[in-house]
Structure formats: structure tokens, C-alpha cells
């Protein structure tokens, strides 16, 4: 990446000497104008990374560069970075204009210029006419917009957003996801966004860094991350996947045959796995699993026998749970109204397209 806006170089963070690392060996670049999301479970290091960039935590080792300048030991107020927290952190005694204008006040911006910039920031987030209201008079979505306007008003080089939609209900959260996405595209401002919500990350991001155990497991565009996960953790964490344990029987370059623990022999892409005799996990997305209400023998090669255990109607699709092999289970999804379903307990067949299954090293050893 040529001339990144932000660069983490060998960054490490520990909370005490000799203790485990919250962030380990982090090398990460953020391009100018992109929206990069840090995605991972609780304790994975994503929020610690944001806090180190914001200046609220100091790295134990490594460098953090902003526009080529090392800011790792610079005080937060001297970095000029906008931050939006989940709690919004609005001043209850100030009106909306006062909250949005506060970063300008502490920077000594004159009243006339400040008022003009506050008005522009409120227009960006569609809050014109609410400048005199107090935070307690606003909805959760409006408060979130105020916090975003405050982070943008002084035109920072980057805006950091730490779980900013976590306190909103599902419908409002989805609305605000699109609002932030459109605002980012319209303004071209660089953003780093922290979330544990996979759908949110896929909706918003130009790129996603998946964190686990203080390290980045994969950094990619949303579609690549979803369709070509780098390892078993990413495959299991991003979206929904059938994760079927087995043993590699044959391997030829990027293709392999895997004998699943539940019996069937299946082909898979050798994404991140060893050779013959080694254990692995085969991942296949539920939406890639085709289901037919006939015996597998009636379909010829490439299909495996299964038995429908449960069908759940979820509006736009039906979720199917099928017994597979000896004690195995596979989930499938199909559009609602896409044809008749197999009879529960009756013969069924499942299959997936060539290249839809991936073999990975096991995330954890067997016991």
C-alpha cells in the first residue's frame, strides 16, 4: 500500500510485565479514504488497537505512524483524531450545537467560524433544526449522529468508531449502518471501525481485519473474506459455516479428498491444511448446500444421502437441519418457495458445487 495514512509497525501491547499480549506483532496499514473494520470476539485485541491509535493506551513495543509521523508517545489531544464511542459521551448540560462545537472551542476557533462549521457538520448527519436541543431530548439514533458530527467537525485525518451502534435496536442499527456507509462515501473521510457484529462489518467495510488472540487472522475485502476465509477460525466466525471434521486422504496441489469423521468422502479446496493422514476441518456455507427430496442414489455421483431433521421458516428463506453420515449434521438454506422440501425422516440428498468446500487445519486439537 503506497503512502498509507496510518501504519502499525510491530505493535505489541501487554497489561503487565511478563503477562500475555493483548495485541501481538501487529503490522497493519490503513489507506487514505478507506473504511477499515476491526472485527473479532471480545478480548481479541480490536478495541485495544483502536485505543492505542487514539492515544488512550500506549503500546508496549512498536511504532504507530500517522501521516508518516510516529505518534505512539503523543498525547491524545495532540493527535487530532476524531473518536466516537458506544456511549456517545455527550455533555448532558450542553445543547447539540455546544456538543458538536466543543472540539472547535478547545482549539480556539472563533465564534463565527465555529458556528458555520457546526452548521455544516449537523447538515452532514441530517440534524438541521436540532441545534438547541439537549441530548436527553434526542433519540438514540439522533445522539449517535451528534457524536459522529462532533468527531467530524474539526476535519480530522481519521475518525475512530468503537462499537458506535451497540446500544441501538436492530432496525435503527441497520439504518445507521447505511447512514455511516453513505457518509463515508460522500465525504471520503478515513475511518477505523470496531465491532463484533459480522453483518455490520460486511455492510460497512472496504476491508476487514479479523482479530483473534491479539493477532490479525485475515485482512481482506468483505467478499473475499466471506468466500475465501484464510483459516478455520475465520470460516467459523465470519458468517455461518458447516464445519465438518475429517482426515485428508489425498492431496493434489490445491485440491484434496477428505474422509469425514461421520463417514462420507468429500472433495475440498486445500485452503490451509496438511497432507494425507492429517486431521482437518471442511467448511461449506449453508447457502451452498443443495437439498433434494430423493435418494442420493437416484442422482448419481456427487450427492450424499441425508435425512431432514428440521425445517424452520424464516421469512425470506428456510433453514434446514439434516442428518448426514454416521452422527453428522449439516445445515442448509434455501429461498422460501424454492420448491418442495424433503419429507421429515424420509430420503434426501445433499450436494454442493465444485469449489464450495474448503479444508483447513483444525482450530483446536482433538481430545
Q: Global pTM?
A: 0.89
Question: Would you state the pLDDT for residue 299?
Answer: 65
Q: What angle in degrees, to the nearest 10, is found between the helix axes of 96-106 and 111-124? A: 130
Any domain includes 1: no
Residues 222 and 288 in one domain: no
Which phi and psi (to 5°) does residue 33 adopt? 85, 0
**Beta partners for residue 210, in sequence order:** 39, 218
- CATH number of the domain enclosing 276: 2.40.50.140
Q: According to the model, what pLDDT value does residue 30 have? A: 97
Nine-digit cell string for 275: 497432507
**205 with 242, same domain?**
no
pLDDT of residue 1: 59
Q: Which residues of the chain have pLDDT under 50?
A: 365-367
CA quadruple 12, 159, 170, 40: dihedral, nearest 10:
-10
Is residue 297 one of the residues assigned to a domain? yes
Any idea which residue has 446500544 for its cell?
167
Total domain count, the chain: 2
The answer on 308 and 222 residing in a single domain is no
27 and 139 part of one domain = yes
Is 160 in the same domain as 221? yes
Q: Are residues 111 and 148 in the same domain?
A: yes
Q: Same domain for 197 and 248?
A: no
What pLDDT shows up at residue 320? Answer: 92
Domain shared by 106 and 212, yes or no:
yes
3-state secondary structure of 166: coil
pLDDT value at residue 20: 87
Q: What does the pLDDT read at residue 214?
A: 94
d(CA 326, CA 308): 14
Q: Which of 229, 255, 279 is the last residue of a domain?
A: 229
pLDDT, tens digit, for every residue of 89-142? 888 999 999 999 999 988 888 889 999 999 999 988 888 888 999 999 998 888
pLDDT for the residue 366: 44
Q: Which of 310, 317, 307, 313 is nearest to 350 (CA)?
A: 307
CA–CA separation, 43 vs 342, rounded Å?
A: 42
Are 223 and 238 in the same domain? no
The pair phi, psi for residue 88, each rounded to 5°, is 70, -35
Hey, what's the cell of 220? 481482506
Amino acid at each position: 500500500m503506497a503512502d498509507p495514512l496510518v501504519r502499525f509497525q510491530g505493535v505489541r501491547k501487554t497489561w503487565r510485565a511478563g503477562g500475555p499480549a493483548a495485541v501481538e506483532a501487529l503490522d497493519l496499514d490503513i489507506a487514505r479514504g478507506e473504511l477499515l473494520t476491526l472485527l473479532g470476539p471480545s478480548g481479541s485485541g480490536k478495541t485495544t488497537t483502536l485505543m492505542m491509535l487514539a492515544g488512550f493506551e500506549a503500546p508496549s513495543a512498536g511504532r504507530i505512524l500517522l501521516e508518516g509521523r510516529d505518534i505512539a508517545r503523543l498525547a491524545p489531544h495532540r493527535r487530532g483524531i476524531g473518536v466516537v464511542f458506544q456511549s456517545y459521551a455527550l455533555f448532558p448540560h450542553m445543547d447539540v450545537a455546544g456538543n458538536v462545537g466543543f472540539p472547535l472551542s478547545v482549539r480556539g476557533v472563533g465564534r463565527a467560524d465555529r458556528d458555520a462549521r457546526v452548521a455544516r457538520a449537523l447538515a452532514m448527519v441530517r440534524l438541521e433544526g436540532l441545534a438547541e436541543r439537549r441530548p436527553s431530548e434526542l433519540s438514540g439514533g439522533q445522539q449517535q449522529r451528534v457524536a459522529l458530527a462532533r468527531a467530524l467537525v474539526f476535519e480530522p485525518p481519521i475518525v475512530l468508531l468503537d462499537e458506535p451502534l451497540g446500544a441501538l435496536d436492530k432496525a435503527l442499527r441497520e439504518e445507521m449502518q447505511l447512514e455511516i456507509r453513505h457518509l463515508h462515501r460522500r465525504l471520503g473521510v478515513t475511518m477505523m471501525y470496531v465491532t463484533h457484529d459480522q453483518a455490520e462489518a460486511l455492510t460497512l467495510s472496504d476491508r476487514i481485519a479479523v482479530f483473534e488472540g491479539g493477532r490479525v487472522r485475515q485482512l481482506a475485502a468483505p467478499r473475499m473474506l466471506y468466500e475465501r476465509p484464510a483459516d478455520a477460525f475465520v470460516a467459523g466466525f465470519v458468517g455461518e459455516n458447516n464445519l465438518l471434521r475429517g482426515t485428508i486422504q489425498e492431496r493434489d496441489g490445491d485440491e484434496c479428498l477428505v474422509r469425514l469423521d461421520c463417514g462420507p468422502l468429500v472433495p475440498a479446496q486445500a485452503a490451509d491444511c496438511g497432507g494425507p493422514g492429517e486431521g482437518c476441518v471442511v467448511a461449506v456455507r449453508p447457502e451452498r448446500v443443495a437439498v433434494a427430496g430423493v435418494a442420493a442414489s437416484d442422482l448419481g455421483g456427487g450427492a450424499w444421502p441425508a435425512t431432514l431433521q428440521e425445517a424452520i421458516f424464516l421469512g425470506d428463506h428456510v433453514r434446514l437441519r439434516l442428518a448426514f453420515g454416521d452422527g453428522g449434521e449439516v445445515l442448509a438454506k434455501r429461498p422460501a418457495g424454492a420448491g418442495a422440501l424433503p419429507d421429515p425422516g424420509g430420503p434426501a440428498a445433499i450436494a454442493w458445487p465444485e469449489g464450495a468446500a474448503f479444508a483447513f487445519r483444525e482450530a483446536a486439537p482433538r481430545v
